[in-house]
Amino acid sequence: MLALADIGPWYWAGFVSIILIFLALDLGVFHRKAHVVSFREAFGWTIVWVCVALIFGAFVAPGTVSGWNRSDTVEFVTGYVVELSLSMDNVFVIALIFAYFRVPLEYQHRVLFWGIIGALLMRGLMIWVGAELIHRFHWMLYALGGFLVLTGIKMLFSGDEGVHPEKNPVIRLTQRLFPVSPEFEGQKFITQWRGRRALTPLAIVLVMVETTDLIFAVDSIPAIFAVTQDAFIVFTSNVFAIMGLRSLYFVLAGAIEYFRFLKYGLSIVLVFIGAKMLLVWIGVVIPTTLSLVVVLGVIGASILLSVLAAKLRPAPEEKS
């Protein structure tokens, strides 16, 4: 496994700087003007980000990081697949949030952009804290494993709860501390209303998206620590998964009916990863390559079953 000593502060700073440049180009060049993101555009960007992530793990990191070997590449790819798979469930919740608040299509990309900035900061902090805790208290791995098993079982039997902003304590606190204008003001998060500065409904949507991602991160961050405890691999695989989340949203949001069994696949993945962490306690180590095959197989099978079920479902009869 890649030794933490091989990753100096300059390499961390360089990686973060490149990601910030990508984000600046995204907002300042490619999406400077608000527009509806088409399926073709979103699919193209999704392919780009997947390719960038795989190129980094297979070629860039092995060629620039001292000590990076094949097992590190497998861990990176496995972690990336796990994070991207768990992000798919987040995508559908974001779609429900946008539908609930009736966010115009041309403004959704801006919300996702700033949502991802917040997600990078929150997850970076969570990864740092998680790595420190595991390094100091090895038993935390088993606690996280048990948490993932319970989370997976809960997800398996839980229903679709929908979106309830009125139950979100962060939303309630935000509305209590700041005035909120009744109408959208283009892409603005802050506007003038009744003679004073106020948040727009788009800002409330952003807060809702951020808190939703935080909830999902509580599951996804422990899951990737089952793959590797190397903070750099955990962080970079998370970053690439999050960077591709915006385009993935516009690819999947319009096809929710084709992923009805995805939740069950994700729950099985969480239970498997949690069990993988717990089995180490009794000396059973599941190879990372096998974990990658299992995760890909379960997610692929759940998507395939969802598509087949959607195609076999009888079309609703038109009312005369």
Residue indicated by tokens 């096809």:
255
C-alpha to C-alpha distance for 186 and 200, rounded to whole angstroms: 9
Coil/strand/helix, residue 191: strand
Q: Give the pLDDT score at 205.
A: 92
**pLDDT tens sequence across 245-286:** 888 888 877 666 677 788 888 899 889 988 988 988 888 888
Q: Give the pLDDT score at 107.
A: 87
Q: What are the beta bridge partners of residue 190?
A: 199
Letter for the amino acid at 174? T
Report the range out of 5-14, 59-68, 140-149, 199-208 with the highest average pLDDT: 199-208
Structure tokens belonging to residue 236: 């970079």
Q: Which of 57-66, 73-82, 193-202, 308-317 has the lowest mean pLDDT?
A: 308-317
Cβ neighbours of 113 (radius 10 Å): 15
Give CA torsion, residues 12, 228, 217, 144, to 10 deg: -140
Work out the mean pLDDT of the chain and round it to a whole number.
83
Cβ 108 vs Cβ 98: under 8 Å: yes
Our CA angle for 93, 56, 22, nearest 5°, is: 60
Helix (H) or strand (E) run with residue 196 in it:
strand 196-199
Q: Give the pLDDT score at 27.
A: 67
Q: Give the pLDDT score at 257.
A: 66
Structure tokens belonging to residue 9: 């502060």
Residue 29, pLDDT > 60, answer yes
Q: Give the pLDDT score at 228.
A: 87
Helix (H) or strand (E) run with residue 190 in it:
strand 190-193
| Nearest of 118, 296, 125 to residue 210 by alpha carbon | 118
| Nearest of 243, 270, 169 to residue 211 by alpha carbon | 169
C-alpha to C-alpha distance for 225 and 144, rounded to whole angstroms: 9
| Nearest of 176, 182, 206, 207 to residue 194 by alpha carbon | 182
**pLDDT tens sequence across 90-107:** 787 888 888 888 888 888
Structure tokens belonging to residue 37: 């993101």
Q: Give the pLDDT score at 162.
A: 60
Residue 183, pLDDT > 60, answer yes
Phi-psi domain of 3 (left: phi exceeds 0; alpha: psi -120 through 50; beta: other) = beta
Band the pLDDT of 53: cuts 50, 70, 90: very high
Burial pattern 194-215, b for ≥16 Cβ within 10 A else e, equals eeeebbbbbbbbbbbbbbbbee
C-alpha to C-alpha distance for 65 and 67, rounded to whole angstroms: 6
Cβ 230 vs Cβ 75: under 8 Å: yes
Of all residues in the chain, the percent with pLDDT exceeding 90 is 15
Cβ neighbours of 159 (radius 10 Å): 6
Q: Which of 50-59, 139-148, 198-207 has the lowest mean pLDDT?
A: 139-148
Structure tokens belonging to residue 116: 């991802």
Cβ 72 vs Cβ 61: under 8 Å: yes
pTM of the model: 0.82
Average pLDDT for residues 47-57, to the nearest whole number?
A: 92
Who has greater pLDDT, 312 or 198?
198
